[in-house]
């Protein structure tokens, strides 16, 4: 288990392996709490950040699949993919 040093103003540097595993980057948010004598840090993702990352992933897939296809067709494909992601998210939120 890595050991970190508490610096000025209570700052610590999270080990690189942990940051990479959790996909944490400079400026990301985290919730911090105490559980007994343990400090618990939980990454927090804003919905728009999640959606933006998903959109970029979709755009990359669409671009790769559509080399040589017109910009208009790619735009239609991206819009379709966005609609599908929204439907999936809506279905998950309304699952009872």
Number of structural domains the chain divides into: 2
Whether residues 35 and 60 fall in one domain: no
**Residues 58-82: tens digit of each pLDDT:** 888 877 877 788 888 878 888 899 8
Query: What's the pTM value of the predicted model, to 2 decimals?
Result: 0.45
* Pair (40, 65) in one structural domain: no
Judgement on whether residues 88 and 53 belong to the same structural domain of the protein: yes
Q: What is the DSSP letter of 10?
A: G
Residues facing residue 11 across a β-bridge: none
Let me know if residue 3 belongs to a domain: no
Domain ranges, residue 12: 8-44
Q: Are residues 82 and 58 in the same domain?
A: yes
**Is 80 exceeded by the pLDDT of residue 95?**
no
Instruction: Give the single-character DSSP code of 8.
Output: G
Q: Token pair of 19, please?
A: 């940051």
Q: Are 54 and 85 in contact (CB under 8 A)?
A: yes
Is residue 60 in some structural domain?
Answer: yes
Phi, psi of 21 (to 5 degrees): -60, -40
Does 1 reside within a domain? no
């Amino acid at each position: 288990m890595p050991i970190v040093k508490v610096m000025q103003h209570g700052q610590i540097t999270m080990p690189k392996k942990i940051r990479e595993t959790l996909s944490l980057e400079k400026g990301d948010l985290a919730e911090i709490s105490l559980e007994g004598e343990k400090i618990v840090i939980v990454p927090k993702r804003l919905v728009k950040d999640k959606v933006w990352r998903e959109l970029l992933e979709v755009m990359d897939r669409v671009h790769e699949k559509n080399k040589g296809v017109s910009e208009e067709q790619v735009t239609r494909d991206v819009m379709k993919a966005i609609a599908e992601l929204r439907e999936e998210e809506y279905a998950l939120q309304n699952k009872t």
